[in-house]
């Protein structure tokens, strides 16, 4: 990319623009004056801008970097107040009409290298036999919620109570956050409208939030019965749990997903949906990659930045925030922007030729992700997802059904339940390692159970279990390889570096095989596709290192800590330590990974974060 000179857009002919639009849109006179005073052109149509020259100006009250899970929430909530003007800068492309992002079944199409991806690769992972592997991050409106697995899991109450403990802010406890989970969640009937009694607990859900969550919209009755029968045959190890999102996840419960009406519900389709994007005080600019924060000024040891530099079409621009800059670029994007702005460990930045502005050695450190492995079995049942993948006629039938009514097998991708389980209290690993789980009601292991093989098989019927190691003790990092803000960063999720993580992954595989030992599976399963149970420990470890992948749940790279802590990047109010007017609201601030997939946790961080901003400015 060639970088031309910095330039700021002049607010062009604001008066004419506002008068014209206000007239056309029939705005009240009062609004017209308000917009004139704000120096903003209102627009009566949905406003997602593709080109910076279409923006009326680059001065706003708030500039939000990144329109992923968190950024979209913050943009939505701040613009509830018509007095606030908000600009969202998103590097990626539009999600509009992207069929792979709409049809739940097409999820897999989005995870490979494609135009909706940052296409990141990790550093060689010592814990993975030195493999460098893809690290998925979405490059599109909605961020990773536009291409993630849609699995909706909050984690344990203990997970959030630990956040409250380590930050000394009771506002981060489960009880305090529950209203924010409810602001986020819009519990929705499943696509097939089946009777959902006995499959969830309505008391722990909300129907008045913004992002749709539902039970599966198509059934796999034979397989589902296998799983439910297991909870009866092995009630000690795998008890039925009516609702794992109650704060007490242990046991086996029905899958809940961020799907509504048979379609993916992302932060783009929900928080930036038609109802909200028309707000005249909300401007979203695509293809705008932020490189750094500009113009640092230090007064009494506190740094304030003058603007946000971003690139579009080979030119650099500067957006200004009179109230706050909010970084919501995610666990990779956010530390990268901070480091490029001179906010990070002083020595490492100086070595790269970046002037240190704020010495915060925790930026990019403590990266935490959960390793996942897969086990599959061939089965004595034709009722699995495989025929749809193997037979074009069936595929087209399912596609036609989805096209016609947003129902049928394309409304999910085969996972029916989740089993959450703990290591035994007397497990030998605890001789040497303090239990990293947040408490005794917090799982170490998740087993996602579903029908269907890998998709590579030409024939046959399969079931697959994905085991996620939820409570890793390994840590990685996000660092820079150069002082060019457009170079990809060095991404080290630090997977499976510790004995505990390897031990627990091994144990997660044993638990998956144990589940299938329930008598009900006897005539159902035929054989494992790879027999992991008869391997020596060394062979199993090698299998794990060769085959594990990151769950793509990275957190903690700009972690929140207590106000007086000697480490951390943001205070419990999410303001950057040592800075003013700069907040971070995304998964990077999460101080300990929840025992869960991370979108619900990120949404709740964003809902509370937006409230903290509103409290500050109103």
Ligand X SMILES: *[C@@H]1O[C@H](CO)[C@@H](O)[C@H](O)[C@H]1NC(C)=O
Binding residues: 290
Nearer to ligand X, 24 or 115 (CB): 115
Q: What is the CA radius of gyration of the chain?
A: 24
CA gap 159, 174 in Å, rounded: 8
H or E segment at 134? strand 134-135
Q: Which of 19, 46, 394, 490 binds ligand X (CB under 6 A)?
A: 394
CB of 196 to ligand X, least distance (A): 28
* Residue (of 423, 419, 418, 417) closest to 437 by Cα position: 423
Residue count at the site for ligand FAD (CB under 6 A)? 41
> What is the b/e burial string over 561-572, where b = at least 16 CB atoms within 10 angstroms of the residue's CB?
bbeebeebbbbb
Q: What is the DSSP string of 435-466?
A: --SSSTTS-SEEEEEEE---S--SS--EEEEE
24's enclosing H/E stretch is: helix 14-25
Q: Closest CB to ligand FAD among 108 and 397?
A: 108
Query: x-or-dash pattern for ligand X, window 533-572, by CB under 6 A?
Result: -x----x--xx--x--------------------x-----
Residue 26 in contact with ligand X, rule: CB under 6 A: no
Site residues for ligand X, 79-98, by CB under 6 A, read 81, 83
Smallest gap from residue 147 Cβ to ligand X (A): 13
Which residue number, 396 or 537, has a Cβ lying nearer to ligand X? 396
Burial class (CB in 10 A: 0-12, 13-18, 19+), 83: exposed
> Active-site positions?
553, 597
Q: The tokens of 114 are what?
A: 């494609």
Selection from ligand X, ligand FAD, none that 129 binds (CB < 5 to 8 A by kind) is ligand X
3-state secondary structure at position 538: helix
Q: Exactly one of 146, 148, 362, 588 binds ligand X (CB under 6 A); which one?
A: 362
In angstroms, rounded to a whole number, what is the distance separating the alpha carbons of residues 167 and 165?
A: 6
What gap in Å lies between CA 299 and CA 503, rounded to an integer? 50
Residue placing its CB nearer to ligand FAD in the complex, 139 or 182: 139
Nearer to ligand FAD, 532 or 600 (CB): 600
- Given ligand FAD, ligand X, none, residue 552, with its beta carbon under 5 to 8 Å by kind, binds ligand FAD
Candidate residues 249, 330, 409, 452; the one interacting with ligand FAD per rule CB under 6 A: 330
**CA–CA distance, 310 with 307 (Å, rounded to integer):** 10
* Residue among 316, 339, 253 nearest 6 (CA): 316
Own/partner contacts of 420-428, CB < 8 Å, gap of 24 or more, are: 420/241, 420/244, 420/249, 420/250, 420/251, 420/252, 420/253, 420/445, 420/446, 420/447, 420/595, 421/237, 421/238, 421/250, 421/445, 421/447, 421/511, 422/250, 423/504, 423/507, 427/507
547-606: which residues touch ligand FAD (CB under 6 A)?
A: 552-553, 586-587, 597-600, 602
113 binding partner (options ligand X, ligand FAD, none; Cβ < 5 to 8 Å by kind)? ligand X
Interactions with ligand FAD, residue window 98-157 (CB under 6 A): 111, 136-139, 143-145, 147-151
Binding positions for ligand X, rule: CB under 6 A: 81, 83, 99, 113-115, 117-119, 126, 129-130, 139, 361-362, 365-366, 380, 391, 393-394, 396, 399-400, 403, 428-429, 431-432, 499, 523, 526-527, 531, 534, 539, 542-543, 546, 567, 618
Binding positions for ligand FAD, rule: CB under 6 A: 65-71, 89-92, 111, 136-139, 143-145, 147-151, 289-290, 328-331, 333, 337, 552-553, 586-587, 597-600, 602
């Amino acid at each position: 990319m060639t970088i031309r000179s910095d330039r700021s857009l002049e607010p062009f002919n604001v008066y004419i623009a506002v008068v014209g639009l206000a007239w056309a849109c029939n705005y009240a006179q009062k609004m017209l004056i308000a917009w004139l005073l704000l120096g903003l052109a209102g627009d009566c149509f949905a406003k997602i801008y593709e080109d910076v020259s279409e923006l009326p100006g680059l001065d706003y009250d708030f500039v939000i970097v990144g329109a992923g899970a968190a950024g979209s929430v913050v943009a939505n909530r701040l613009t509830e107040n018509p007095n606030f003007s908000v600009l969202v800068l998103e590097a990626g492309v539009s999600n509009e009409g992207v069929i792979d992002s709409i049809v739940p079944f097409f999820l897999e199409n989005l995870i490979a290298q494609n135009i909706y991806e940052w296409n990141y690769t990790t550093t060689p992972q010592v814990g993975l036999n030195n493999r460098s592997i893809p690290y998925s991050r979405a490059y599109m409106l909605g961020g990773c919620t536009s291409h993630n697995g849609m699995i909706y899991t909050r984690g344990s109450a203990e997970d959030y109570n630990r956040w409250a403990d380590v930050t000394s802010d009771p506002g981060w406890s489960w009880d305090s956050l529950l209203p924010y989970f409810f602001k986020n969640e819009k519990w929705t009937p499943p696509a097939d409208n089946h009777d959902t009694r006995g499959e969830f607990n309505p008391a722990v859900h909300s129907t008045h939030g913004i992002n749709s969550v539902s039970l599966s919209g198509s059934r796999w009755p034979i397989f589902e019965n296998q799983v439910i029968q297991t909870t009866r045959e092995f009630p000690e190890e795998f008890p039925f749990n009516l609702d794992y999102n109650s704060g007490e996840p242990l046991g086996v419960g029905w899958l809940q997903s961020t799907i509504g009406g048979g379609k993916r519900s992302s932060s783009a389709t929900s928080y930036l949906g038609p109802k909200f994007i028309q707000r005249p005080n909300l401007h979203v600019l695509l293809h705008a990659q932020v490189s750094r924060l500009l113009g640092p000024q230090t007064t009494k040891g506190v740094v304030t930045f003058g603007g946000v530099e971003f690139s579009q079409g080979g030119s650099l621009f500067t957006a200004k925030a009179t109230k706050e800059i909010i970084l919501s670029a995610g666990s990779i994007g956010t530390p990268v922007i901070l480091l490029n702005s001179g906010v990070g460990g002083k020595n490492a930045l100086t070595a790269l030729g970046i002037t240190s502005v704020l010495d915060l050695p925790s930026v990019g450190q403590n990266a935490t992700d959960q390793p996942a492995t897969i086990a599959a079995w061939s089965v004595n049942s034709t009722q699995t997802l495989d025929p749809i993948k193997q037979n074009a006629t069936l595929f087209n039938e399912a596609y036609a059904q989805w096209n016609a009514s947003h129902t049928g097998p394309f409304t999910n991708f085969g996972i029916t339940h989740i089993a959450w389980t703990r290591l035994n209290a007397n497990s030998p690993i605890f001789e040497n390692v303090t239990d990293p789980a947040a408490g005794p009601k917090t799982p170490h292991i998740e087993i996602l159970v579903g029908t269907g093989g890998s998709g590579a098989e030409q024939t046959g019927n399969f079931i697959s279990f994905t085991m996620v190691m939820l409570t890793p003790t390994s840590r990685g990092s996000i660092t820079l390889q150069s002082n060019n803000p457009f170079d990809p960063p060095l991404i080290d999720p630090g997977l499976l570096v510790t004995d505990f993580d390897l031990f627990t992954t091994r144990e997660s595989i044993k638990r998956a095989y144990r589940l299938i030992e329930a008598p009900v599976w006897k005539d159902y399963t035929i054989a494992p596709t790879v027999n992991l149970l008869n391997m020596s420990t060394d062979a199993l470890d090698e299998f794990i290192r060769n085959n594990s992948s990151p769950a793509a749940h990275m957190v903690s790279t700009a972690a929140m800590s207590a106000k007086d802590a000697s480490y951390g990047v943001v205070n419990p109010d999410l303001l950057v330590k040592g800075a003013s007017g700069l907040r971070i609201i995304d998964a990077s601030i999460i101080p300990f990974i929840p025992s869960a997939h991370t979108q619900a946790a990120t949404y709740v961080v964003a809902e509370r974060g937006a409230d903290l901003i509103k409290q500050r400015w109103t």
